[in-house]
Chains A and B, each alone.
Chain A
């Protein structure tokens, strides 16, 4: 079963704007990860944030984690049309255990 719930389910923005996606989960975790999936393709790992971290950056990506609220957000700054994809959060309860994926957010960046 999927423990992650993401919102919004779909997001449409203009190029240059920021995109924020949220993920909530139910159990305690070791880490939370974000993946991107282009249509009809496999997933690509974007960023991993551990349970003892609150914020992490990678290029135009910023991830926050609030373990008290069991939620995370992914911010993509200065979006580009090429950022159009589905974004999934995934949680791992212990290091090496299975990943549980959220329902995903479909992001469309209009040129």
Chain B
């Protein structure tokens, strides 16, 4: 199956700093990647859809200036949490779809803790 690599797996940062999370499709080209946020014992909440070469589409209520998404190549999408605050602490997961656009292949997630 397709492999999606996500780094870092865990990051602890001070309030006010920015954190970048990378999501790479290792053995396929992902024209579309998705970024999710997940709180403990809850479901995934779609934050934005990242399309290669174009601006990301953000879900309602997600601040695009807070969560910067860049999809500069067919194998890499990045999520930057700018000026992070404790309420941004969460589990962030990226995913990419197969060529048909049905199944999703997920990264292993990034646990962000903002002190």
Query: How large, as a class, is the contact surface on chain A?
Result: 20 to 34
Nearest-neighbour CB distance to chain B for A39, whole angstroms, equals 10
Task: Produce 1/0 per residue, A66-110, CB < 8 A to B.
Answer: 000000000000000000000010101001111101111010000
Name B44's contact: one of A31, A44, A88 (CB within 8 Å): A88
Q: Could you count the A-B residue pairs with CB atoms below 8 Å apart for me: how many are there?
A: 58
Are B102 and A48 within 8 A (Cβ)?
A: yes
Is B91 an interface residue when CB atoms closer than 8 A count as contact? yes
Contact partners of B100 in chain A: CB under 8 A: 95-96
Kindly state the separation between the CA atoms of A31 and B93 in the bound complex, as whole angstroms: 22
Are A43 and B95 within 8 A (Cβ)?
A: yes
Q: Which interface residue of A2, A98, A102 has the most chain B CB atoms within 10 A?
A: A98
Are A48 and B103 within 8 A (Cβ)?
A: yes
Instruction: Give 4 new A-B contacts, CB below 8 A, not counting A42-B95, A95-B102.
Output: A42-B4, A42-B108, A45-B1, A99-B104
